[in-house]
């Protein structure tokens, strides 16, 4: 940030300047008074900055000089906090005054796979406190992997009276009681979306808590709420929500109940179908409902999901909407290829498709034949085990690559794969931005040639020039990483597991990928010397995660010493007396403007604190060590004065 108070080159310091013609557009008129620098700034603010919506553009503008920094800070209305610990809430509310929309992300992604202790952190509370004072006009709140309590939800409902959108993805810590408070307290709510979140069942009838009058609900998503709901109340809610376009039901809604909702809301564009199976009890004399006609009446439907407990016979009900669908999520529907084919062959406009591997390679071949416009494919495993029979393989991947040339994003779980198929995809699908292949058996080579999967992934990074996100798997040597370092120039996110031979692997990455932001590595033999190879780059990254690698305590301390702007969190699992390990279990480090956090989980805080192998009582050295029953979490800040 420049210390320069004045705008460079525009208007100088005194009244007249020929440079002012750049702003006023003319120079010949001697009655013309050129605007002062402040006036120019105001013009800029009004006419230019308000059009800057991209946060990257705004970040760039804020770096021009202090005046632009201030102007930008006063006018930025949408905030994105990629790591809730990278900056304190107070620092944010001090800088940005006019925020209407905020997105906050908390835990690192590997917490989804039980690799972080519960209560690790990412509490919404401190953010809420700061925002409740400064952002009372908040309209949109988006939280991902944050820990949110019922009290938080209650306080948020009180603090943000005009809140219009609340979206929580992969969050936990609250229950249906908290949802009840949101429903009754947030009177302006248009969008209420809960996705992949762990919501406790407090047996609260939260659906009944929405206000009785006509609502402005446009999107209501609660498919992850594992608790029964009051169906009659939901039916009345849908009936009095004329703007409702997106509705995603949970698995407690039967297909009969779905029918009743659909006939009340034929204007829906996005529908999550709930269980998609009938209740046990059917009233005497009642025919099976005409589900087909219910779907036929929903002429605007473009996105279907749900099918949580599908009875495959009912799948034919969706035929009427297939031709319009751009997104279909069957990833909880355990159906086979024969059951998929009649549906998928109608979905010629499909762009996003999520499915279970139960459809097998044959099902994927049908997808490849029908969905020429496919952009995103995710194939999830029915059995998430290393030794299961894998119904999908390189055959399915190859078919997709040949039929779906516009593919941009793929997530593919399988038990066996070949380099040839991956290479073929790299050549057929040149628009790939996201390539995530998970060969579920650790260290598994190309199952036909027995070779490592180096060449396949190498081809992906080499040929797919738009690639920004990559996840690798299978047997991989350092060579794979040399390819990634050599060709992955746009790579921002990389996931590595059970791969590589030596420190060289990680070195190739850290030295070769200038755009790397998020690097998550588990169970790979990378150690301290590889870690040091990234010193030049860590301030540019959002985070580095390394678990079950070969990084030592000393290595972590050294990083912390050399890079005071990083927070280095280390988790060491407690071991038995005779068990020793020189390596830390988990290293999670990230840049932060505000030093280590004060809310590390603690059951017992040790009074004497250790750093660098000796007791340290220096006031310059801030750190905390928390011990629980199974782990020790240590946070380092180096012993230097600030």
Please give the residue ranges that form the binding site for another protein (CB under 8 A): 110, 112-118, 172, 196, 198, 224, 251, 278, 280-284, 286, 308-309, 331-332, 334, 356, 380-389, 413, 438, 440-445, 475, 477-478, 495, 497-498, 501-502, 522-523, 525, 547-548, 550, 573, 581, 585, 630-631
The C-alpha angle 166, 171, 173, rounded to 5 degrees, equals 105
Rounded to a whole number of angstroms, the minimum distance from the CB of residue 83 to another protein is 20
Is the CB of 193 or the CB of 478 nearer to another protein? 478
Is the CB of 162 or the CB of 279 nearer to another protein? 279
* Best CA proximity match to 84, nearest among 105, 109, 99: 105
The C-alpha angle 299, 304, 306, rounded to 5 degrees, equals 140
The C-alpha angle 272, 275, 277, rounded to 5 degrees, equals 125
Rounded to a whole number of angstroms, the minimum distance from the CB of residue 443 to another protein is 5
Is the CB of 171 or the CB of 367 nearer to another protein? 171
* Best CA proximity match to 141, nearest among 167, 159, 122: 167
Is the CB of 171 or the CB of 407 nearer to another protein? 171
* Best CA proximity match to 494, nearest among 518, 464, 514, 527: 518
Rounded to a whole number of angstroms, the minimum distance from the CB of residue 378 to another protein is 11
Rounded to a whole number of angstroms, the minimum distance from the CB of residue 333 to another protein is 9
Rounded to a whole number of angstroms, the minimum distance from the CB of residue 548 to another protein is 6
Q: What DSSP character marks residue 288? A: P
Is the CB of 316 or the CB of 501 nearer to another protein? 501
CA atoms of 373 and 407, how far apart (whole Å): 8
Rounded to a whole number of angstroms, the minimum distance from the CB of residue 527 to another protein is 8
Rounded to a whole number of angstroms, the minimum distance from the CB of residue 372 to another protein is 28
Residues contacting residue 4 through CB under 8 Å, at least 6 positions apart: 65, 66
Is the CB of 320 or the CB of 381 nearer to another protein? 381
Residues contacting residue 19 through CB under 8 Å, at least 6 positions apart: 9, 10, 11, 12
Residues contacting residue 592 through CB under 8 Å, at least 6 positions apart: 83, 85, 86, 87, 565, 566, 567
Q: What DSSP character marks residue 598? A: S
Q: What are phi and psi of 473, to 5 degrees?
A: -165, 180
Is the CB of 83 or the CB of 495 nearer to another protein? 495
User: What are the distances in angstroms from CA 320 to CA 136, 271, 299, 347, 444?
Assistant: 45, 14, 9, 10, 43
Rounded to a whole number of angstroms, the minimum distance from the CB of residue 549 to another protein is 11
Rounded to a whole number of angstroms, the minimum distance from the CB of residue 253 to another protein is 15
- Bridge partners for 354 per DSSP: 329, 378
Pairing, β 610-611 against β 614-615: antiparallel
Is the CB of 267 or the CB of 572 nearer to another protein? 572
DSSP H helical ranges for 445-545: 454-463, 478-487, 503-512, 528-532
Q: What are phi and psi of 106, to 5 degrees?
A: -115, -95
Rounded to a whole number of angstroms, the minimum distance from the CB of residue 441 to another protein is 6
Q: What DSSP character marks residue 172? A: E
Rounded to a whole number of angstroms, the minimum distance from the CB of residue 630 to another protein is 5
What is the dihedral sign for C-alpha 586, 591, 596, 601? Answer: negative
Is the CB of 29 or the CB of 389 nearer to another protein? 389
Is the CB of 145 or the CB of 260 nearer to another protein? 145
Rounded to a whole number of angstroms, the minimum distance from the CB of residue 444 to another protein is 8
- Bridge partners for 626 per DSSP: 605, 633
Helix (H, G, I), strand (E, B) or coil at 511: helix
b/e map of 399-421 (b: 16 or more CB within 10 Å)? bbbebbeebbbbbbbbbbbbbbb
């Amino acid at each position: 940030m420049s210390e320069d108070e004045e705008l460079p080159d525009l208007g100088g310091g005194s009244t007249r300047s020929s440079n002012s013609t750049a702003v006023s557009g003319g120079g010949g008129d001697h009655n013309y008074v050129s605007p002062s620098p402040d006036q120019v700034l105001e013009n800029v603010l009004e006419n230019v900055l308000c059009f800057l919506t991209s946060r990257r553009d705004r970040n760039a503008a804020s770096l021009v000089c202090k005046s632009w920094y201030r102007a930008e800070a006063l006018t930025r209305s949408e905030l994105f906090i990629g790591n809730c610990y990278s900056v304190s809430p107070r620092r944010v509310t001090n800088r940005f005054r006019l925020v209407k929309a905020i997105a906050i992300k908390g835990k690192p992604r590997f917490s989804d796979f039980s690799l972080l202790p519960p209560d690790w952190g990412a509490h919404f509370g401190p953010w809420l406190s700061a925002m409740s004072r400064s952002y009372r006009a908040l309209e949109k709140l988006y939280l991902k992997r944050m820990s949110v309590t019922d009290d938080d939800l209650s306080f948020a409902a009180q603090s943000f009276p005009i809140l219009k959108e609340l979206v929580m993805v992969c969050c936990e810590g609250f229950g249906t009681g908290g949802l009840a408070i949101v429903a009754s307290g947030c009177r302006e709510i248009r969008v209420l979306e809960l996705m992949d979140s762990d919501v406790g069942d407090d047996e609260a009838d939260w659906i009944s808590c929405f206000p009785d009058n006509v609502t402005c609900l446009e999107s209501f998503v609660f498919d992850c709420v594992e608790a029964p709901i009051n169906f009659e109340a939901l039916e009345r809610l849908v009936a009095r929500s004329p703007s409702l376009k997106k509705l995603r039901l949970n698995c407690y809604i039967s297909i009969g109940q779905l029918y009743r909702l659909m006939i009340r809301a034929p204007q829906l564009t996005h529908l999550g179908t709930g269980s998609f199976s009938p209740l046990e009890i059917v009233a005497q004399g009642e025919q099976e409902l005409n589900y087909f006609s219910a779907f036929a009446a929903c002429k605007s439907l473009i996105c279907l999901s749900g099918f949580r407990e599908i009875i495959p016979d009912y799948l034919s009900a969706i035929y009427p909407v297939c031709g319009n669908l751009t997104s279909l999520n069957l990833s909880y529907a355990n159906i086979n290829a024969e059951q998929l084919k009649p549906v998928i062959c109608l979905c010629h406009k499909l762009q996003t498709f999520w499915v279970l591997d139960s459809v097998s390679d044959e099902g994927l071949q049908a997808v490849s034949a029908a969905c020429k416009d496919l952009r995103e494919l995710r194939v999830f495993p029915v059995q998430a085990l290393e030794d299961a029979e894998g119904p999908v393989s390189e055959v399915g991947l190859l078919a997709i690559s040949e039929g779906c040339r516009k593919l941009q994003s793929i997530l593919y779980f399988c038990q066996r794969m070949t380099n040839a198929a991956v290479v073929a995809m790299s050549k057929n699908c040149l628009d790939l931005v996201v390539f995530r292949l998970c060969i579920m058996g650790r260290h598994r080579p190309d199952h036909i040639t027995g070779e490592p999967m180096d060449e396949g992934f190498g081809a992906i990074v080499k040929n797919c020039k738009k690639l920004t996100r990559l996840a690798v798997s299978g047997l991989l040597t350092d060579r794979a990483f040399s390819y990634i370092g050599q060709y992955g120039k746009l790579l921002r996110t990389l996931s590595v597991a059970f791969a590589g031979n030596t420190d060289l692997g990680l070195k190739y990455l850290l030295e070769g990928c200038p755009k790397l932001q998020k690097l998550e590595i588990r169970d790979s033999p990378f150690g301290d010397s590889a870690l040091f190879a990234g010193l030049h780059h860590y301030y540019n990254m959002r985070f580095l995660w390394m678990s079950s690698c070969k990084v030592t305590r000393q290595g972590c301390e050294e990083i912390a010493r050399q890079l005071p702007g990083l927070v280095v969190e280390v988790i060491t699992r407690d071991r038995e007396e005779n068990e020793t390990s020189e390596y830390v279990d988990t290293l999670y480090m990230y840049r932060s403007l505000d030093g280590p956090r004060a809310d590390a989980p603690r059951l017992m805080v040790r009074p004497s604190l250790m750093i660098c192998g000796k007791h340290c009582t220096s006031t310059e050295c801030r750190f905390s060590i928390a011990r629980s029953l199974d782990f020790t979490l240590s946070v380092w800040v180096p012993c230097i004065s600030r």
